[in-house]
Amino acid sequence: RGTGCGLCPLVTRAACGRGKTMHMATLMGGEGVVVACDRSARKVKVIADLAAAQGLEGCVRAAKADATKAMPPSVEAHAPFDRVLLDPPCSALGLRPSLRPAGAVSVTGLEQHARYQRLMVARAVEALRPGGVLVYSTCTINPHENEGAVAWALRHFPSLSLACQEGERVGGPGLECCGLTAAQSAMLQRFEPGGQGEGATDDLTGFFIAKFNKEW
């Protein structure tokens, strides 16, 4: 987000958000490298093709990688990273309603998403250099995947601290839950669809943003 993307190299983990990868590469103005990782070979090809079509192949590296596991050599060659954007698979409960079969969303499924996301957070922290910035974003309104992931990260990685998003703030604060204090929740951004809550709007999907600094 913003001019922070000007530092490099930068990695996007679970890069299903192809638009985010291209946007960051554009903001970097041809300086540095954006390494976009996804475990789907098809998505990796789409990212590479899109970068070539937009003339960004010089700074975008698309790599097939499982973001819950150790970095493959093609990614590790660029590490440690100055910036990491983690846009993990989530329950997508913030998106506009879709026709889903009965039972498509379950408590078990939501818990599995949260466990998987925490594995990805751990790998993202490992990939980030001291002094670097980690941005964690989802398109869900489920607190366990949002505020819960933030609280987990702060407990397990003492080197992490929440970073202020002022100047980049559009949504409302996070929820005061999952062990987060009011001050910590205020540093998050939560977007609530349906006209309810401080971050609500009648014409926006729900999503969530947390920004961390890695102190050491």
Query: Are 48 and 21 in contact, with CB atoms under 8 Å apart?
Result: no
**CA atoms lying within 13 Å on the CB side of residue 45:** 3
- Catalytic one among 59, 139, 164, 177? 139
Question: Is 202 annotated as contributing to ligand binding?
Answer: no
Q: Is 139 considered catalytic here?
A: yes
Considering all CA atoms of the chain, what is the largest pairwise distance in Å, rounded to the nearest integer? Answer: 48
Please name every residue paired with 63 in a beta bridge, in sequence order, or none if there are none.
Answer: 37
Query: Are 183 and 18 in contact, with CB atoms under 8 Å apart?
Result: no
Question: Is 203 annotated as contributing to ligand binding?
Answer: no
Supply 157's token pair: 């990685």
Question: Is 66 annotated as contributing to ligand binding?
Answer: yes
User: Which of 213, 192, 212, 188 has the alpha carbon at shortest distance from 203?
Assistant: 192
User: Which of 34, 24, 85, 25 has the alpha carbon at shortest distance from 211?
Assistant: 85
Known binding-site positions: 38, 66, 87
- Residues involved in catalysis: 139
Q: Which residues are annotated as a binding site for S-adenosyl-L-methionine?
A: 38, 66, 87
